[in-house]
Amino acid sequence: MKRRLTFRSIAGAIAFGWLFASLFAADAQGQRRNTAQPAPAAGPKVEKIDEKRFAELLKPNGKPLLINFWATWCEPCREEFPDLVKIDAEYKGKIDFITISLDFEDEIATTVPKFLVEMKATMPTFLLVTADETAAIQMVSKDWAGALPFTVIYAPDGTMSYFRQGIVKHDVLQAELYKLLKPTR
């Protein structure tokens, strides 16, 4: 009896010790993970938008408004992006510039911000999720079938001053923006 008790006591102590050690180790590992792993890189936040917010974004706010529609799956979109980043740097404060991504919703925190970081892009980027793309496309232009990339410039009064389906060139954008920004006599 005494022998059995001793055996039980030893087994219990070992089990308790193992449990305690495991919990301690796990906690310590968790703490290490928390302290050693840096916070995710502060990449641009991509905001998901619906049709309502999309309609609001199409309205200029006192300045010329440049909007680029793109997607990471669209090769010409990726190709023209460095020029757009350049335009953003050149016209900061003079115009409002946003980009609207048509990537799949599950890429909002992965592929899309990753690409923006690669491009060193800082312009506000939104991801449109809508069940009615026809309505969204026609809100922008009746002459647009939905092919990407698509770039549009609205004058401060809301009239569309320029649009381009396909790759847009840096100097063309400069010329179009100049028309809206040149001093009036």
Partner 1 sequence: MRRKLFLFVALFSLLAFNLTPVSADGGIEIGQKIENFTLTGIDGKEHSFSSLMGTNGAVLVWVSAQCPVVKAYNDRINAIAAEYEARGIRFIGINSNATESLEWVTSDAKEVGYKFPVLIDKGNVLADKLGATVTPEVYFVNKEGVLLYHGAIDNDRSGKNIQDHYLKTAFDAALGGKAIEKTRTNAFGCTIKRAGMAGE
Question: Dmax of the chain from CA atoms?
Answer: 108
Tell whether the torsion through CA atoms of 24, 28, 33 and 38 is positive or negative.
positive
Rounded to the nearest whole angstrom, what is the least distance from the CB of residue 131 to partner 1 in the complex?
Answer: 5
Structure tokens at 160: 């569309």
The single residue among 167, 170, 172, 174 that binds partner 1, judged by CB under 8 A, is 167
Q: Would you give the binding string for partner 1 spanning residues 89-128, x where CB under 8 A is met?
A: -------------x-xx-----------------------
Q: Of 143, 182, 183, 185, which one interacts with partner 1 (CB under 8 A)?
A: 143
The nearer residue to partner 1, 143 or 157, going by C-beta atoms, is: 143
Q: E strand or H helix at 152, and its extent?
A: strand 150-154
63 vs 78, beta carbon nearer partner 1: 78
Judged by CB under 8 A, does residue 173 bind partner 1? no
Residue pair 154/60 in contact (Cβ under 8 Å)? The answer is yes
Structure tokens at 25: 């180790």
In the list 61, 145, 171, 184, the residue contacting partner 1 (rule: CB under 8 A) is 145
39 belongs to the binding site for partner 1 (CB under 8 A) = no
The sign of the dihedral angle between the CA atoms of 83, 57, 136, 65 is negative
Supply angle C-alpha 38, 126, 133, rounded to 5. 140
Contact 154, 161 (CB under 8 A): yes
Report the distance separating Cα 80 and Cα 70, nearest Å: 10
Regarding 157 and contact with partner 1 (CB under 8 A), the answer is no
Provide the minimum distance between the beta carbon of 38 and partner 1 in the complex, in angstroms, as a whole number: 33
Q: Would you count residue 75 as binding partner 1 (CB under 8 A)?
A: yes
Chain residues binding partner 1 by CB under 8 A are 69, 71, 73-76, 102, 104-105, 131-134, 137-138, 142-149, 165-167
